[in-house]
Chain A
Amino acid sequence: MSYGRMHRKEDARFIRGRGNYTDDVRLPGMLYGAILRSPHAHARIVSIDTSAAEAHPKVKAVITGQTLAGLGLAWMPTLSQDTQAVLATDKVRFQGQEVAFAVAEDPYSARDALELIDVEYDPLDAVIDARKAMDPGAPVIRDDLEGRAGNHIFDWEAGDRARTDAIFEQAEVTVAQDMLYPRVHPAPLETCGAVADFDKVTGKLTVWCPTQAPHAHRTLYAMVAGLPEHKIRVISPDIGGGFGGKVGIYPGYVCAIVGSIVTGRPVKWMEDRSENLMSTAFARDYHMRGEIAATRDGKIQAIRVKVLADHGAFNGTAQPTKFPAGFFHVFSGSYDLEAAHCEVTGVYTNKAPGGVAYACSFRVTEAVYLVERMVDVLAAELNIDPAEVRMRNLLKPEQFPYLSPTGWEYDSGDYPKALRLAMDMAGYDKLRAEQADKRARGELMGIGISFFTEAVGAGPRKHMDILGLGMADGAELRVHPTGKAVLRVSCQTQGQGHETTFAQIVGQELGIPADDVEVVHGDTDQTPFGLGTYGSRSTPVSGAATAIVARKVRDRAKIVAAAMLEASPDDLEWADGKWSVVGDPSTGKSMAEIALAAHSNLELPEGVEGHLDAVTVYNPPNLTYPFGAYICVVDVDPGTGQVKVRRFVAVDDCGVRINPMIVEGQIHGGLADGVGMALMQVMAFDEDGNHLGASFMDYLLPTAIECPAWELGETVTPSPTHPIGAKGVGESATVGSPAAVVNAVVDALRPYGVRHADMPLTPANVWRVINGDPFRTDLAIP
């Protein structure tokens, strides 16, 4: 009833310029902070002189690591059980690291103050190439950590090593490929920032900041700063895009809070674009070696992977604590294998912390890229069409629920149907014929396929927590006497349209228009606890909580309706959005009628107190597993190496679609991400650790020119574990699309004998490949 295409409720304010983003927050007496950052990737701090800055007439405070050390706040915990410097005390460990914080009466004066701070550095050798991080004699980055001699962080493995190795020894065919998923950055158009307001009289701290996880932030502030949790209010207002880059707590947030405590006035801090690109959470940076064992007719038997993971100077990856490589071990993908095994080693380098960000579903992105590239390498080795190799290996519908060789229980799917649909939409056979004609004429055209299985909606509490906080989400639903409802949820939209979609879920369950449901979110004083919006978890977890709390309200309404109808609740049925006596629709009571009665003096059964409001917590029994089949068609200019994405066909199955318009919009955005990562985006560094992509002049993002008109298709396989059969879709296209683009480019370059080329496939990189230069996989310099 309420599902379907519906204009978004949130649009009314955004099209008028009346959104309320963090930088739009203005408080009386507000001061402005700015951060001084390190110009070096690795250096010892000899001295910091702030006297000239403090003498500036408009400067109210200058805070350094020493100031914070006095408060016990120089270091803070990360989401991966490491520590991170808030302001550096001993050394700087990446270019752009936070060194000092100046607070002034206006933002320009705060920037002026930074020019007046004199820091003396003693530069040290930097570790930039992750493959050299564990070399004997490599500079030790984290000499602050007791008992840590080198730059090694962790070793982790999943799957059955012995069984996998045994299959490889006997295999008819094996292929291997090294590949780098380069460091990229989600680059939401709104940078990070915060407004902190500490009220000395009440002891209450209010923080506005664009966080995807407001409740987690509040709890961490309580744990880190020792402030009582009920005296902390985190408000996440409108967010100008997050994509995973706004999950963690950044040093600037802590600085703004300390600034407010020190000055007694509200303090706003907003980073600029270079600060955003240089210091906030990057994504990927996985050096991978994949291997496949198969039969000669293309049946894949086993896959094994070794990964070297570059985590930067502080291990700040954001994922369920048990899984240091996130969900990378879902790398067996969409295929029916006998065995799989992966080993992941994490190391420190002199780069910014992060790693899990950018719509990656906790590294499912890297896993899908690995397996989908490897399947194409196998197809090339066997000279079988890549679509055919996939068809021979895809899981079959009757195999679900399917337990993967690394322990995932895929919930539902019809994979061959999705791939066939994508091939039909693309006109696959015709494209191959066209390609053959073009090759004969020396023209370069490529067709790339990617089939992905996502793992989203973290997650079951017994397996998943972040720093001990289980990943269940609350929801509260009030129904007012006139039948209008207010839903309160813990997740926080960054553009996904929760105010609309979640209202539609309530509307569907209660038989009321979605317009009659107000969704409250992004304010820890106003909403129940939950872990936030990332990993495509809003609909799988908070959406499920919403459906269940609405059903609780509906159950309460049943008792009231029974009293109204002077019938037994057992004799009522829910039909057409009303409670009515079984078989007699004319007795139907709408939610508005029931709500009014529930608040009236109507006599209710013993023990029923009235009203309809309900509260719930949803602990997901399993993840959900969206999937899809993507086909990309590219033309490559052999003279310049320029890649043009001509077509992109995307068939997605995310289970039940609540608002198909919003779902399609999410997919469009993710596809653009895939084109960007495959062709343009990379965060490169020189050997001294200078960031070579620290502005949008150098870190290139796709525009409307690089993006084709997306061609979308859908299949619907409901999730059996989710109360409304939905699976989540926010990250599917970002996860699935890069491999399709790269596979298409590599396919185009087949006449040159190319089997693999690393992202980003910029004109320069493609030109090198065409001209026989060994392709650089080390620094991924465009």
Chain B
Amino acid sequence: MRITVTVNGQPYTREVEPRLLLVHFLRDELGLTGTHWGCDTSNCGVCTVQLDGVPVKSCTVLAVMADGREVTTVEGLERDGELDAVQKGFVECHGLQCGFCTPGMLLTARWLLDRNPDPDEGQIREAISGQLCRCTGYENIVRSIRWAADASHSQEARQ
């Protein structure tokens, strides 16, 4: 099947098998290996990307379902050489260790802050509860997202 998917603002047209998963389309067809694969069953969330602005687990979305839609991956978070606040937060607060869950966590964090710029700890924990991290015990991920929220506020205050 011929599909056109806009990924990080750039349209890509490809001939794909109907059964091809979105995660494999991104990784193998487009070479965007920042999106990882981890479990097959939508439990771990390392494959999380945004589809039309909403986090989805790309191991459970067919590439053909993304036809005509917009996908944002971790590679699309940095804009004009400027890291997204959530990327900075994860560095500041040691929100990653092996880095495997990080891209998915970043995309969910961005979605959360877009909807709720001032989330409390419980709201952050709930937002990332569909994603697993085996290294951090989540504490520093929560702090990282909170750091990004604070950084965004102080940036707005400056403007």
Contact = CB atoms under 8 A, between A and B. Distances in A.
B138 A707 contact: yes
A662 interface: yes
A601 interface: no
Contact of A187 (B32, B73, B90, B134): B134
Contacts of A662: 94
B158 interface: no
Main secondary structure of the interface of A (DSSP, over half): loop
B92 A696 contact: no
Contacts of A12: 91
Nearest to B35: A17
B19 interface: yes
Interface stretch (A175-183, A233-241, A249-257, A396-404): A233-241
How many chain A residues sit at the interface, stated as a range, is 35 or more
B140 A668 contact: yes
Nearest to A16: B78
Interface residues of B, number: 58
B17 interface: yes
Interface string B88-100: 0011101011111
Contacts of A15: 74, 83, 87, 90-91, 96, 99, 102, 106
Contacts of A186: 134
Given A11-B90, A17-B73, A189 B100 contact: yes
B46 interface: yes
A201 B70 CA distance: 46
B114 interface: no
A323 interface: no
A732 to B, nearest CB: 13
Nearest to B21: A108
Contacts, number: 171
A17 B135 contact: no
B101 interface: yes
A169 B96 CA distance: 53
Nearest to A272: B40
A318 B48 CA distance: 34
Contact of A669 (B39, B92, B97, B100): B97
A704 B128 contact: yes
A704 B125 contact: yes
A495 interface: yes
Contacts of A8: 91, 94
Contact of A707 (B36, B77, B139): B139
Contacts of B94: 7-8, 661-662, 664-665
10 contacts: A15-B99, A16-B34, A17-B35, A186-B134, A240-B99, A272-B40, A665-B135, A695-B43, A696-B132, A710-B139
Interface of B: 17, 19-20, 24, 27, 31-41, 43-44, 46, 73-75, 77-78, 83, 87, 90-92, 94, 96-103, 106, 121, 124-126, 128-142
Interface of A: 7-8, 10-19, 21, 23-24, 26, 107-108, 186-191, 238-241, 243, 272-274, 494-497, 661-662, 664-666, 668-673, 695-697, 701, 703-705, 707, 709-710
